[in-house]
Structure 1
Amino acid sequence: MELSSSNLLTVLTLASGSERNFEQQNAEGQLKKWEVSPGYHYLLQEIYLKTEVPLQIRWLAIICFKNGIDKYWRSSRQYAISKDEKVQIRARVFYLLHEQNNQLTVQNAHSVSKIARFDFPSEWPTLFDDIAKHLDEFVFKSNDHISTNNLLIILNRIIKNVSMVRIGRARHAMQSKAPIIVTILIKLYQKFFSNWTQNLDLSSMELCYLCLKNLRRIIPEGFEQPHKNQDVSEFLGTTVDHLQLLINEHDKYSSDLLERYVKCYSKLYVTIINNNPTSFVLLPSSQKILTTFLSLLEQRAEYIYNSSEENDFWEILALKGFIILKKIMAYIYRKGAITLKQRNDKVEVNHAINKLTTDFFTADLIQRLCDLVINWYLRLKPSDLEGWLLEPEEWVNEELSTSWEYQIRPCAENFYQDIIRYFSDSLTDFIINKISNGLVQNDSVDRILMKDAILCTFQLSSSTISNNVNFDNLLHEVFIPEGIKNDLVENKILKRRICLIIGEWVSVQCSRESRVDIYKLLLNFLQPSNPINDKVVKIASIQTLRSVVDDWDFNKHDFQPFLNEFVRLLLNLLNEMKLTESKLYIFNTLAVLIERCNPLVDYQTLIDILVIIPKYWESSSVSNEPIIKNSLLRVLKSLTISLNENSPETHSISIPLISSCCSESSDLHSLLSEDGFDLWLALLKYCPQSQLGNEQIMKLFELIPNGLMNSTEILPTILSILRSYSLYAPELFSNKTSLELFAVLAGYLPKMRDDVFSIFVSLLDILLLENSSNESFINNFLTSGLFNAMVNYVFDESQSIVLCTKIYLVLSRLAKSSPEVFFKILEIASIDVNKFFKIWLEYYNNNGNPRNKKVNLMALLALVSYGIPKNISVALEISAEVVKRTFFFLEEINENNDGSCDAYNSDFTYEDIDDYAYLDPDIKPHGERIRYRQLLEKMDPVYKTNLKEFLKETMIQLKTQLSGSDFDQLMSLNDTYTLDRLQALS
């Protein structure tokens, strides 16, 4: 069908039908074909501009038009809209200003703003001039509210889109036009504000809000220094007066729209502060703005405290007030530190800071703010107590997950932490006195709530006042006695607070003896027999227990007497808690506890934890809760590690879960595969020698190729699993699967991150130690392209020399084991051998330890010994240098007769085999460590070959195989030092 206006209208009519049928599908297909045809988008615009066309057809036309702008407006796109068609479209973008359907207006605004984003200023330099012309007309045409409304909606979208541009001329060009637009918007704003406040005219109120919304965007984005523009500066002064008017007359003008006004003013101030705090402070109205929000926080404190409404208007304003004050305090504290785009000179910054510190943030005001926060905003509200009583789990979980920017008490806590940090000199003594004098008797709920608020300041001040208080004394004299009181049900409020204090202070200041008393206190809080220990107290105790156990200074031997009791209580609590989040805290705490107390958790306790995992995995209540399954996998991993040689106890559970989570065809893969791979790695590492050859574990290997190719975000874990298999079942690397794996690794190698590279090197080091004489393995190694990739890596001058030496280290294993095969591989792979050996010798001294140097030297000597009799020229060329470096090395180290020495027993290629866990004498070596040690002892020539004797044998072999003249020629290549050493050697 030919594209024309009438044909397009017909097809749009069919496509917009309410019933799904064959004709509608054909129409949609035709629209899809036409969208790449010249003139299509111009005709779409023509149709939606016609008000006589039915609304549903215009709606579909504008949606197709908007989507087409996204896809085809950029000139670099295939089937891009032509330049001429763009000109025609831009010429009509303001034709729809009289549109009465708001949804069409919004869609049109999206389309126009997209065009502006692409074309302004290069193709559409008059954009803001055109808008200013229309707006200027509306200043004097008060009755054309529809056109005014529509243009303001379009302008808002344009400003939003253009201000997002960070590269190019668009943002700067908008800033050059901003004064024109802002001047007109301010006139419109003042006109409409006067109308609606005097006459309560809803239409004027809506238009005024749209003006404000535009100004809220363009002032911060269009002016780098708003305080230097008179119109902007005067307007911001006006907004404060209007804000105060609307706050004072809130009940008179009460409406959602009015509340949006007030929020818009506060957003304007916050954005200016974010963009340029210096400019904000230097505004004549800045102190008035700060005073307004401070007064709001003080005057509405009691109302906000007693309010139980969500998204309460006054609470939202209070949040903005705290955020504004918080940002201004940070500005003072950081001495006016500014971003690159803010070009305030030092004089202005100093003037702004001086203005704040002398005129606003006085010592009296800072203490007043502290009192205000403590008395009203840190206290638990009546609605909090009601939530605690009726739905304790829901309440505490919300407390633990709430973002401080959206809830008043968390925001106040965050604000308090800033004020005590920024003004510590003037507040430390004030707060300590407040704490000392405020711990009154628990004879009423109000007193308990006030005490809780005061203790909250102690919790939040840990990093600031720790040098001025003795936490251990307070723990024994105040917190523990307070925690064991059971005379009032309301004491649970203080029990929770004590948990929060301990969780905050234990990593800052807490003695080893005090930690033992904390364990006893937490056990008390978790006892089911005490009715005051409700769910909130127990969840707080669980969270605190995790913090204490996971702390750097945790001593597992001190904790051991309490260990089994804590585990028993945690397992019992799983039955008591109903919500997923609550169970999650328990599982996460169990996982940390098992890990940090390894190996002190006794066998039966570990088995008791293990047996609950299938129940909660399969439980219908959590079958659709992957977050619980993630946590269960982490617990299972910790159990596997702690059981160590008994880890096969977990296999019947672990192996099916690994198979399910790590298989790409599984529904669980996307959410659980990362923890599944971690569990798989632990299972392999801690698998004892008795379980070598387990068919189920071997079968899991089939999942590796997909994981290696598609789970690149956890590539270190996948490669570690491969490395574990290289020790667990090296025969798996001689089949077709290994060919696929090596090909993938060859592709990754050029751009490997350092953490992945170290695992890759240790994997290849192990495999080449085991398989250098395995023909199938060598064929896979070469055919996959991995050998060539490794050689190309060392040839690439942009790669790190240290990393290149590790490649040579790995290749040394193959060269030492089979020099004949090595030279053949170099020949088959068409490697430039002269360049290869030149770089090898050049990089040799960058090896970081004696062990690696010996591996290199033995390989080079083996290649020389084989290559010279075979007339391989490069072997002869490098021989003198190799022998000389061997003698240098022998002077550095002192091998025993077997060829070993202490210097070879550290800095293994498998770097993390000696991680921190093995520094703990309580922890037995895991299966993988045993396997690696056995491999080195059995197959690594570093420990079995005396290098001096190896060199001697090499020279004897060469003398035997070469004629007298050839050997003399070989000797003539050596310098005097080497010849003397060779003479001594014989």
Structure 2
Amino acid sequence: MNAAVIQVLQQASSQDPAVLKPAEQTLREWETQAGFYTALYNVFSNHSLPVNVRWMALLCFKNGVDKYWRKNAPNGISEEEKKYLRTSLIINFNEPVNQLATHLAVVIGKIARLDCPREWDTLIPTLIEVIQGQNSIIQHRGLLTLHHVVKTLASKRLSADRQLFEQLTTNIFNFTLNLWNTFTESFLILSSNGADNTQIQENLEKALLLLRILRKLILNGMPIVSKSDDAMMFIRELFPRSKSCLECRKTLLLRNNNNQSNDLIEKLEKFIIHMTKVLWGIQECHPICYIEFLQSSLEFTFYYCFTDAGQPYVFTKFVIQCLNIMKTSLIHQNYRAPLGIQTEDESVLRRELASKKSYEIKGAFFTKELLKEIIMWLVTRYFLLTNEDLELWNNDPENFAIDDSRDSWKYNIGACTESLFLSFFSQFSDDILPILVELVQKHYQPVHPNNWEGILLKDAVYLAVGLAASELYDDVDFDQWFSTTLKQELEVNDINYKIIKRRVCWLIGKWTRVKLSSELRPELYKMMVKALGSNEDLVVRIEASNTLKQALDDFQFNSEEFSPFIETTFTLLFNLLREANECDTKMQILYVLSFMIEHVGDDIKPFIGPFSAYLPSLWQISEDHNMLKCAIISTLVHYVKALGPESSVLEPLIVGMVGLSCDLNQDAHVYLLEDGLVLWLALLENAQTPTQGIMDLLGYMPALLEVALDQVTIKPAFCIIEAYILLNPQVFIVQFGNRIVEGFISIMSDFRRDDATHLMTLLDIIMIVSPDQGPRVIQKILIKIFKVVYNNETIDLNVPESMYVIARVLLTSRDIFSQILTQLATEFGQDKTSEMILAGIIDAWLEKISWDVKQLEPLKLLALALCSLLNSASPTIVVQKFPNIITSIVECLNDLNSSNESSDQPPGFIDPLLITNLPKNVQAYGVDPDTLWRSAHDARKELSENNDIVHTVCLRSSLRNQLNSLQRCMNKSQYEQMIGSLSPEINQQLAEYLNEPLFNKMSECRI
């Protein structure tokens, strides 16, 4: 098989698709054949074969391990073959190609994660034996393999696996530490003696691998580091070792006129960085144990990062690591001021003592003089724009302007120093504020445009003051500063002043939501409009747009104050959007436009014609950029809401966007679904008529209900379905009703309470707008709902909301109601009859109507349903429960009547839910139309509510009619016996309601 495998692997390495595709297919067919992975091993372990063939064999081997090595994996590799491969993989460690050796080590690590130590107890001892050998390359490969084995074992999280890893750490930590010391010392001696670079690099690479192993062992294999003397010694040794390596780096850089190997310097920097990673990792994972080294790490960081003596030794990545260690020392929860908790809990006491000790160490170290020195270094050195920054600004302004603020403090020196600067305020705010106030006073006046150093320093000071805006609230008169210096600086027209102007815009944005008088907001808008002008630098314009967003997103924002600036601002932002080339910049500007449209509402209408015309081309630009598509869709949501019915001109574009976002067959739906659903809803809510394009979109909903909705997207999906029901109930029910119902049934088991409530609302609306077809279409869901109420279940659906739906079915379609009772009786069996099930449902109604129903609408709905049962065709069970039914209806009448006591209605009973009895200035949902802009969807919803039986039928009239009908079809003694079964109090109240003349004859309606 080996020869055939080699031939196919050669073909799989080809660039010719006609050769490549069949070879890949053959390899896929061989994946599950016995002996295939043995053949692959024979190929990649044969050093005489071409590297590309061996590489392809190893890649296939790795993929097979991922898919077929696990126990019980379908078509898994046999235990015999796995045993042979485990033995073979650790026989030879003389792989000459570095990339293949690394890949092979990764594969062994993957197998070790599954099999070590239970099925592969020889792995670690073999690696230790190999590492102890004298052959340099075999020793390196052994260390490389041990590193990847330890790395994968450390990632396991089950308790038993963690215990095994802790045992492994105990067994090999001392051996690894001694070896690390040996190779580190050898590297330092060789480099100081000017030895050959190859020899130096060999020792350095091995020391780096050992350091990586030690890091995993100490972070993941030692629950309490302080219990291990070796571990504490190792941590203590990291500080002098780092110092020696930094000095060695400086020497290597200077030697031979900087002609030293870049590769060696690069590896040495990695080694130094990894030592700081060990320190930072221990500080994060074992903070209490690290307190012993807190003083040393603070001194170490201060010397190298904040003194002239330490600067010649450092490089950027090292500085970032050190500053992050100092930041953790300042803000870690175990290093904050002790809470003074009085307790006998040993763990709490231990944390309190640790907090006290660390707090005292920091207090003693960070004296006022030292703090001033650190703050001045941060502001006047680290905050300064570098030559690289300025070069990026000039050559690629958009990338310079984009603020990547996520975790950039971990790798970006600017973000790192800003983060450290803010961390000092958690403990030393009182000592730092006077320093900043002094800097503000010193740099208050505008600087001359030709004073380049002054410009850079002022930019740095403004950065510090902006970062600390909330801390400086009481110490800086920002209104005066804004009205004088900052305003003047934005008016300076000089190319060098773009740095100050950009920072002034940023600074105003930071202070706007902290301390800026409302009287100055029009001036702020005017200043930002000027900064957005096309004659300004692109970076300044982008920063001005961000500041404008901050102003719009403030609780003090007043749309009337902003009204004079709407047209100019929108035009300038739109021009900036068109000029931007980078998708990230366009996203940022769209975000600002979205904010603006949202906050000014329909005032934007007169000015957005050009933007509407630009949208199709902008959407085309975003073809390969899903995040830009998200920004466009998000902006369009506010755009459609602002335009209202006028947004119909964009309907074809929006329909296409929604289709791309919500079609599960499109890859883009992964990114766009959430925003696409919101846009879909906005389109429906403002649509005047159900166009073909809008209705076609509904075809995506069944698939969404079945597989793609989660708790974030299900709510807008419900709202979309509701909008369709109201927009075109006939088409919705006939063409899509059954598929939508099936979709609901498939996800009902995952419903939360809010989801179930929303479903009940949808079912209710369907029966209101389509009383003939609606109940029949949703019959499958209704059966489940009847079961919930009958069995008093609360798992999938909520009983109260379910009762309202059943009441609606009874009032809308008695035939469907009866069919469901019959079907349930057949399904339940055990001598269950439809009358018995009806009795259970009536009992549930009678119980809930007395205790759980608080709102008048559902209360009246249930009462009307009970009324409808009182006729000659009702089963015997209704007659038996007549007293309880009448009692519940009367109590409902009492609630309806009592709601009139505080109103201006005349004395007597008037049904407050009847449309004709509502005050003229109030709509069905109780708002003044003069104070609320209503969408087309709102109007449709109000119309459906006005047609609801709750608002068209008088409960008292219904009860009177039903009782009169009963009286006519029963003999007098039977009827009197039924009335006599009522309690005297209920009988009296019933007589009052039935005998009192109606005030509104138009309400004499029917059931």
Q: Is TM more than 0.5 here? A: yes
Letter in 1 for 2:92: L
Determine if the alignment matches structure 1 residue 504 to structure 2 residue 510.
yes
- Residue 520 (structure 1) aligns with: 526
Letter in 1 for 2:323: F
Residue identity (%): 22
Quick one: distance in 2 between partners of 1:449 and 1:336?
41
- Between 1:424-433 and 1:170-179, the stretch displaced more is 424-433
Deviation at 1:676, TM superposition (A): 3.7
Quick one: distance in 2 between partners of 1:344 and 1:129?
42
- Among 292, 304, 310, the alignment partner of 1:282 is 292
Determine if the alignment matches structure 1 residue 471 to structure 2 residue 468.
no
Quick one: distance in 2 between partners of 1:492 and 1:59?
53
Determine if the alignment matches structure 1 residue 952 to structure 2 residue 960.
yes
Quick one: distance in 2 between partners of 1:292 and 1:797?
69
Equivalent residues of 1:900, 1:946 under 8 A apart: no
Deviation at 1:878, TM superposition (A): 4.2
- Residue 635 (structure 1) aligns with: 635
Deviation at 1:566, TM superposition (A): 1.1
Determine if the alignment matches structure 1 residue 961 to structure 2 residue 974.
no
Superposition pairs of residues 377-416 of structure 1, within 5 angstroms:
377-397=382-402, 403-416=408-421
- Residue 185 (structure 2) aligns with: 194
Quick one: distance in 1 between partners of 2:924 and 2:348?
49
- Residue 259 (structure 2) aligns with: none
- Between 1:543-552 and 1:343-352, the stretch displaced more is 343-352
Equivalent residues of 1:851, 1:904 under 8 A apart: no
Deviation at 1:84, TM superposition (A): 5.4
Equivalent residues of 2:800, 2:848 under 8 A apart: yes
Equivalent residues of 2:686, 2:935 under 8 A apart: yes
Deviation at 1:839, TM superposition (A): 3.4
- Residue 934 (structure 2) aligns with: 925
Quick one: distance in 2 between partners of 1:801 and 1:575?
51
Deviation at 1:320, TM superposition (A): 0.7
Superposition pairs of residues 832-871 of structure 1, within 5 angstroms:
832-844=837-849, 845-862=851-868, 864-866=869-871, 869-871=872-874
Deviation at 1:681, TM superposition (A): 1.5
Q: How many residues align?
A: 939
**TM (normalized to structure 2)?**
0.85
Quick one: distance in 2 between partners of 1:708 and 1:198?
68
- Residue 764 (structure 1) aligns with: 763
SS of the residue corresponding to residue 322 of structure 1 reads: helix
- Residue 554 (structure 1) aligns with: 557
Equivalent residues of 2:462, 2:503 under 8 A apart: yes
Distance 1:96 1:361, change over 3 A: farther
- Among 434, 441, 446, the alignment partner of 1:436 is 441
Quick one: distance in 2 between partners of 1:460 and 1:181?
47
Deviation at 1:699, TM superposition (A): 3.8
- Residue 567 (structure 1) aligns with: 570
SS of the residue corresponding to residue 551 of structure 1 reads: coil
Distance 1:341 1:445, change over 3 A: farther
- Among 363, 368, 374, the alignment partner of 1:369 is 374
Letter in 2 for 1:494: I
Superposition pairs of residues 726-805 of structure 1, within 5 angstroms:
726-772=725-771, 774-775=772-773, 777-782=774-779, 785-794=780-789, 799=794, 803-805=798-800
- Residue 1005 (structure 2) aligns with: none
Deviation at 1:730, TM superposition (A): 1.0
Quick one: distance in 1 between partners of 2:216 and 2:275?
11
Structure 1 residues 140-183: Cα deviation after superposition (integer angstroms, max 9, x where no partner): x4x32222212211111122111111123112211123133111
Structure 1 residues 451-500: Cα deviation after superposition (integer angstroms, max 9, x where no partner): 221121221112333244443343224433333344x4333222222221
Distance 1:847 1:495, change over 3 A: farther
Quick one: distance in 1 between partners of 2:876 and 2:86?
74
Distance 1:913 1:430, change over 3 A: farther
Structure 1 residues 708-729: Cα deviation after superposition (integer angstroms, max 9, x where no partner): 4454142322221211111111
Equivalent residues of 2:760, 2:805 under 8 A apart: yes
Quick one: distance in 2 between partners of 1:167 and 1:790?
43
Quick one: distance in 2 between partners of 1:279 and 1:569?
57
Quick one: distance in 1 between partners of 2:391 and 2:88?
59
- Among 5, 9, 22, the alignment partner of 2:2 is 9
Determine if the alignment matches structure 1 residue 456 to structure 2 residue 463.
yes
- Between 1:715-724 and 1:953-962, the stretch displaced more is 953-962
- Residue 102 (structure 2) aligns with: 106
Quick one: distance in 1 between partners of 2:86 and 2:37?
11
Distance 1:174 1:651, change over 3 A: closer
Distance 1:645 1:84, change over 3 A: closer
Quick one: distance in 2 between partners of 1:873 and 1:37?
73
Letter in 2 for 1:857: A
Letter in 1 for 2:637: K
- Residue 243 (structure 1) aligns with: 242
Deviation at 1:630, TM superposition (A): 3.6
Structure 1 residues 883-928: Cα deviation after superposition (integer angstroms, max 9, x where no partner): 212222332332576622599999xxxx9989xxx89966521111
Deviation at 1:391, TM superposition (A): 3.2
- Between 1:660-669 and 1:154-163, the stretch displaced more is 660-669
- Among 91, 98, 109, the alignment partner of 1:95 is 91
Distance 1:607 1:902, change over 3 A: farther
Structure 1: any 5+ residue segments left out of the alignment? 1-7, 305-311
**TM (normalized to structure 1)?**
0.87
Quick one: distance in 2 between partners of 1:778 and 1:129?
73
- Residue 489 (structure 1) aligns with: 495
Determine if the alignment matches structure 1 residue 118 to structure 2 residue 114.
yes
Quick one: distance in 2 between partners of 1:163 and 1:680?
47
Deviation at 1:204, TM superposition (A): 1.9
Determine if the alignment matches structure 1 residue 447 to structure 2 residue 467.
no
Letter in 1 for 2:615: I
Quick one: distance in 2 between partners of 1:38 and 1:578?
55
SS of the residue corresponding to residue 600 of structure 1 reads: helix
Deviation at 1:342, TM superposition (A): 9.4
- Residue 155 (structure 2) aligns with: 164
- Among 327, 338, 356, the alignment partner of 2:361 is 356
SS of the residue corresponding to residue 611 of structure 1 reads: helix
Distance 1:649 1:922, change over 3 A: farther
Letter in 1 for 2:570: V
Quick one: distance in 2 between partners of 1:800 and 1:505?
51
- Residue 712 (structure 1) aligns with: 709
Superposition pairs of residues 579-728 of structure 1, within 5 angstroms:
579-601=582-604, 603-618=605-620, 622-651=622-651, 653-659=653-659, 661-663=661-663, 671-687=671-687, 691-713=688-710, 714-728=713-727
- Residue 321 (structure 1) aligns with: 322
Equivalent residues of 1:59, 1:104 under 8 A apart: yes
SS of the residue corresponding to residue 679 of structure 1 reads: helix
Quick one: distance in 2 between partners of 1:356 and 1:629?
52
Equivalent residues of 2:378, 2:421 under 8 A apart: yes
- Residue 308 (structure 1) aligns with: none
Deviation at 1:203, TM superposition (A): 1.8
Determine if the alignment matches structure 1 residue 179 to structure 2 residue 174.
no
Structure 1 residues 930-970: Cα deviation after superposition (integer angstroms, max 9, x where no partner): 11112212x11222233233223232222223344543554
Equivalent residues of 2:644, 2:935 under 8 A apart: yes
Quick one: distance in 1 between partners of 2:960 and 2:720?
41
SS of the residue corresponding to residue 252 of structure 2 reads: coil
Letter in 2 for 1:298: F
- Residue 831 (structure 2) aligns with: none
Q: CA-atom RMSD, angstroms?
A: 3.7
Letter in 1 for 2:243: Q
- Residue 262 (structure 2) aligns with: none
Deviation at 1:929, TM superposition (A): 0.9
Distance 1:470 1:840, change over 3 A: farther
Quick one: distance in 2 between partners of 1:802 and 1:550?
39
Equivalent residues of 1:302, 1:376 under 8 A apart: no
Quick one: distance in 2 between partners of 1:301 and 1:641?
62
- Residue 298 (structure 1) aligns with: 306
Quick one: distance in 2 between partners of 1:64 and 1:389?
47
Structure 2: any 5+ residue segments left out of the alignment? 192-198, 254-264, 828-836, 995-1007
